Amino acid sequence: MNERFTISLIVNNKSGVLNRIAGLFSKRCYNIDSLAVGETENPEISRMTIVSTGGEYTRSQIVKQLNKLHDVKQAVLLEDEDSVSVEHLLIKLKTDGNGNSKVTELLNRYGGKIMYIGESFIIADLTGPTKNINDCIVKCVPLGIIELCRSGSLSLSKNAEDVLDINNFII
Amino acid sequence: MIYSGARILIEELIRHDIKTVFGYPGGAVLDIYDELYNNCDRIEHIISAHEQGAAHAADGYARVTGKPAVVIATSGPGATNLVTGIANAYLDSVPIIAVTGNVAVPLLGRDSFQEVDIVGITQPIVKHSYIVREADELEFIINEAFAIASSGRKGPVLIDISKTAQSGTCEYKGNYNISFNEKKPLPDLSVALKAIETAKKPYIYCGGGVLASNAEKEVLELSKRISAPIGLSIMGLTAVPSSYELNLGVSGMHGKYASNLAQSEADLMIAVGVRFSDRATGNLSEYTKNCTVIHIDIDEAELGKNVASMIDLCGDAKLILQSLLSSIKKSEKPNWVNRVLCYKKSDNQISDKKDFLPENIISFIRAKMSSDTVVATDVGQHQMWVVQHYGFEKPHKLLTSGGLGTMGYGMGAAVGGCVASDRKRTVLFTGDGSFGMNLNEIATAVSQGLPLLIVILNNGVLGMVRQWQCMFYDERYSSTTLNRRTNFVDLAKAFGADGKVVNSMSELESVFEDGLPGNKPLILDCRIDLDKKVFPMIPPQGSVKDILIG
């Protein structure tokens, strides 16, 4: 059964690493639904969160193939119940004709913040689980979305034991 | 010591026991070639006719020695000419280090003369690759590259070195020692042991991983201990002597009847260092219907990739087999053994030995060669005939493109294989199609004085494609009839080699009576029938039930 799943990766923070990982997905016919990358507290190391879709076979193959890449220090599958995942949304919403109150009410319901107020639109910021973000976007459609930008999911395991000590990689 | 990057490269190659490198000079590797000139008494460079030939030569060299081999090419077209060679090594898990030059750092990324992103181009076909911008990165990178190429599942590594890094200078230490062969604990073997103990009809499927981990003795011992016949993948073909009674030969699409049949009847398959390619398994739902599979492989991603094995053992084949053997008792299985030996008899040649047939030509040449002779092949019908009929007795003696199926591989591989085996007589079996692709490397063999015996099984057609057109495309021979008028004897002579046309077994005999040249290639243009097909054959996606005997 095809389901979404999340992979968390500890990778070398070098040019070309993203290319290798994205290349592996296309080479093996897997899809990247979302991707987030950022430096960790150790500047040599980045953490990536990749969300993909597939069955049990695809899940285990992707993780095994990723772990073979020299620049990947660790790739693990994160189960929903054992991890915390959030996504970030910036959305530009029309305000003319709606009045700010409708927009504010909607954003308050989802915990969003207004980051910028323009003449005929606002830019709002929302952080939360992917499902919340999706729901919020659906609700925003009638108000008039000018454009939006999503970060891709960020995930961390709830586990404290099998965490890779990234400071080991300081050369 | 303060050395240039180019000097550091050469010093590190020598420190990694590289005696010979293959390659082709050019603008972006001038510094490296200048250092090769300085150090020609310490490291030999063999120039090929084309970079593809050099890449295949390094591949052939590495297959014979089991250790990483090195190919050097310049930037741009030099680098792109390596691509097929690198892909070939990747698919067959051969450790080669491909060194390419690139333009100076200020010119990188500006579409400069002879600039390509070779790291980007080769990304899906290397174990790892590096762009080296500064000289001081080089020493570590070369050491890491060798460690990656030769650890775990072996494979090619590319190092793209800018001119800036080659000519720049830095401190050189010469004392790195990087290894990724950390000792991992062996997997739990208890379930596998139980399965082996209770199996009535065990079968060992032996692949290239057995050669890579030097586990030939252990496979043979396991076979004897539990009375398990052995079938081989093309990559694992030389791991078990062909004269061993329970060696049933290669299995798969053009595998032996006995090997495929025994596989299908076995209740336990012990698969060692194989990746279950589609050419080896045919229809996957039929393939392991009757048996439990124990899959031993060093690459975890191979476990469950193509065949859902019930018992996965990830690790070094030799160590796992040794550990298994320490707990396995001798067990005779006369019924099973007699049955597979009976199947084996039906694989015996029935053709008249005097007929000028591929299997007779191959068997005749086998009889004239020692078991130490290195044999290269190209790709196509001749390759399958060699795999079926040559009869290898020692490991690492066959150089053949198993995974990528690279027509044109053989000539470069034969050069590399010959150099790696102290320039002793090396045989290349090829077809007129494959040979036409990279025959320019005759020039390399001649300039190196290599005693190659090049046997062209010349049928004037692209035989394997023609066979499929005959069997599956209503004999519509689209573009496979070559209509060439190449005179291979004149061609050989033009290159400075020798050549003879051979039309019969007696003519072949007289070639050997006349003696083979000791310091140059001899090309035998063997004119065979154009409709001779490779059998047995399991049609694509078929199973052993569909096997065609001919």
Higher local confidence (pLDDT), B526 or A165: B526
**B400 located within any domain:** yes
Of B512, B530, B510, B528, nearest to B355 by C-alpha is B528
Query: Pick from A65, A83, A101: which residue ends a domain?
Result: A83
**A23 located within any domain:** yes
- Looking at the structure of chain A, the number of domains it has is 2
- Render pLDDT for B259-314 as a digit per residue (tens, 0 to 9): 999 999 999 999 999 999 999 999 999 999 999 999 999 999 999 999 988 899 99
Chain B residues with CB-CB distance to A17 below 8 A = none
pLDDT at residue A171 tops 70 = no
Q: Does A65 touch chain B (CB under 8 A)?
A: yes
- Domain span including residue B455: 358-527
**Chain B residues in contact with chain A using a Cβ-Cβ cutoff of 8 Å:** 119-120, 123-124, 127-128, 131, 148, 299-301, 303-305
- Render pLDDT for A78-122 as a digit per residue (tens, 0 to 9): 988 999 999 999 999 998 765 678 888 999 999 999 999 998 999
Give yes or no: residues B227 and B163 share one domain.
no
Give yes or no: residues B245 and B149 share one domain.
no
Whether residue A57 and residue B299 make contact (CB cut-off 8 A), yes or no, is: no
Q: Does A27 touch chain B (CB under 8 A)?
A: yes
Residue B536: asked if its preceding bond is cis (omega within 30°), the reply is yes
pLDDT of residue A169: 62
Give yes or no: residues B139 and B112 share one domain.
yes
Query: Pick from B296, B321, B345: which residue ends a domain?
Result: B345
**A108 located within any domain:** yes
- Render pLDDT for B178-191 as a digit per residue (tens, 0 to 9): 988 777 899 999 99
pLDDT at residue A163 tops 80 = no
**B544 located within any domain:** no
pLDDT at residue B149 tops 70 = yes
**B299 located within any domain:** yes
- Render pLDDT for B242-255 as a digit per residue (tens, 0 to 9): 999 999 999 999 99
Give yes or no: residues B162 and B231 share one domain.
no
Give yes or no: residues A60 and A18 share one domain.
yes
Catalytic residue among B235, B464, B488, B537: B464
**B545 located within any domain:** no
Give yes or no: residues B34 and B132 share one domain.
yes
Give yes or no: residues B125 and B196 share one domain.
no
Conformation bin of residue B76: beta by default, left when phi > 0, alpha when psi is -120 to 50? left
Q: Report the CATH number that the domain containing residue B273 is assigned in CATH.
A: 3.40.50.1220
Q: Report the CATH number that the domain containing residue A124 is assigned in CATH.
A: 3.30.70.1150
Q: Which of B123, B301, B305 sits opposite A23 (nearest CB)?
A: B123
Whether residue A70 and residue B148 make contact (CB cut-off 8 A), yes or no, is: yes
d(Cα B96, Cα B98) in Å, to the nearest integer? 6
Structure tokens belonging to residue B238: 């030389």
Q: Report the CATH number that the domain containing residue A46 is assigned in CATH.
A: 3.30.70.260
Q: Could you tell me the pLDDT band of residue A2, with boundaries at 50, 70 and 90?
A: confident
Q: Report the CATH number that the domain containing residue B390 is assigned in CATH.
A: 3.40.50.970
Catalytic residue among B11, B35, B51, B115: B51
Give yes or no: residues B114 and B250 share one domain.
no
Chain B residues with CB-CB distance to A23 below 8 A = 123-124
Nearest CA in chain A to B154: A68
| Average pLDDT value for chain B | 97
Whether residue B148 and residue A16 make contact (CB cut-off 8 A), yes or no, is: no
Give yes or no: residues B87 and B219 share one domain.
no
Give yes or no: residues A62 and A94 share one domain.
no
Give yes or no: residues A8 and A78 share one domain.
yes
pLDDT of residue A98: 56
DSSP string, A5-54: EEEEEEEE--TTHHHHHHHHHHHTT--EEEEEEEE-SSTTEEEEEEEEEE
**A32 located within any domain:** yes
Structure tokens belonging to residue B259: 């090997």
Of B380, B363, B487, B376, nearest to B431 by C-alpha is B380
Q: Could you tell me the pLDDT band of residue B92, with boundaries at 50, 70 and 90?
A: very high
Give yes or no: residues A76 and A105 share one domain.
no
User: Which residue type, as a one-letter code, is found at position A165?
Assistant: D
Give yes or no: residues B155 and B6 share one domain.
yes
Give yes or no: residues A29 and A96 share one domain.
no
Query: Are B243 and B222 spatial neighbours (Cβ–Cβ below 8 Å)?
Result: no
Q: Does residue B464 carry a catalytic annotation?
A: yes
pLDDT of residue B18: 98
pLDDT of residue A170: 55
d(Cα B128, Cα B418) in Å, to the nearest integer? 28
**B536 located within any domain:** no
- Looking at the structure of chain B, the number of domains it has is 3
What is the edge-to-edge ordering of all strands in the sheet holding A72-78?
A32-39, A45-54, A3-12, A72-78
**A58 located within any domain:** yes
pLDDT at residue B398 tops 80 = yes
CA neighbours closer than 13 Å in the CB half-sphere of residue B186: 14
**A126 located within any domain:** yes
DSSP string, A28-41: TT--EEEEEEEE-S
Is pTM, for the whole model, over 0.90? yes
Give yes or no: residues A97 and A69 share one domain.
no
Of A65, A37, A51, nearest to A5 by C-alpha is A51
**A68 located within any domain:** yes
Give yes or no: residues B460 and B396 share one domain.
yes
Q: Does residue B163 carry a catalytic annotation?
A: yes
**A57 located within any domain:** yes
Mean pLDDT of A1-6: 89
- Render pLDDT for B351-378 as a digit per residue (tens, 0 to 9): 888 999 999 999 999 999 999 999 999 9
Give yes or no: residues B153 and B208 share one domain.
no
Q: Which of A23, A61, A70 sits opposite B128 (nearest CB)?
A: A70
Chain A residues with CB-CB distance to B131 below 8 A = 15-16
**A94 located within any domain:** yes
Give yes or no: residues A61 and A103 share one domain.
no
**B180 located within any domain:** no
**B29 located within any domain:** yes
**From B456-460, B469-473, B516-520, B537-541, the region with the lowest mean pLDDT:** B537-541
- Domain span including residue A73: 3-83
Higher local confidence (pLDDT), B81 or A162: B81
Mean pLDDT of B167-177: 97
Q: Does A92 touch chain B (CB under 8 A)?
A: no
Chains A–B, number of C-beta pairs less than 8 Å apart: 29
d(Cα A114, Cα B46) in Å, to the nearest integer? 68
Whether residue B300 and residue A27 make contact (CB cut-off 8 A), yes or no, is: no
Query: Are B412 and B55 spatial neighbours (Cβ–Cβ below 8 Å)?
Result: yes
Conformation bin of residue B515: beta by default, left when phi > 0, alpha when psi is -120 to 50? left
Percent share of chain B, pLDDT over 70:
100
